Amino acid sequence: MSAVLRPGPQLLPMTTAHLDAVMAIENAAYAFPWTRGNFVDSLASGCVAQVLYDDGRMLGYLIAMNGVDEMHLLNITVAPPFQHQGNARHMLEALIATCRARRAQQLWLEVRETNLRAQAIYLKRGFVQVGVRKGYYPAPQGKRENALVMSLQLLPTRLGDR
């Protein structure tokens, strides 16, 4: 009996046809989810928007905004049943490759101060904390939570930098 190799998860461009599944994941993953309008606006504005599929199931998605010589990761989410399996790392690596292909010098993101699991992924990948946005995220009981601002240097900023 021969082994059949199955391709791993694949990133595909997000379209409006994906939004029902995206919203189901978003609502399952977050106490304060993005709205459908946030995703529609991201698609309309030309953001990098991708969905991660494996074996016919949507595992997660990402949204990143292009800037001048940089990219800003706005949302990277894995459906709760598929977390802790390397899916976020897979999407992050694909986004980093996209950034490099577009000659972005830096990749920026914000992460909740309490999201230690995501912070560990970013730190392991080489991101550094460069600031704090006070009260950036909504939190339970009308409170606000700080965001850590993190950045990954992708390309030299000047010809002499190596």
Which residues are identified as catalytic? 110, 122
Angle between helices 19-29 and 36-44 (to 10 degrees): 130
Cα–Cα distance measured from residue 108 to residue 76, given in angstroms and rounded to the nearest whole number: 12
Give Cα 11 distance to the centre of its chain. 12
**DSSP line for 88-125:** HHHHHHHHHHHHHHTT-SEEEEEEETT-HHHHHHHHHH
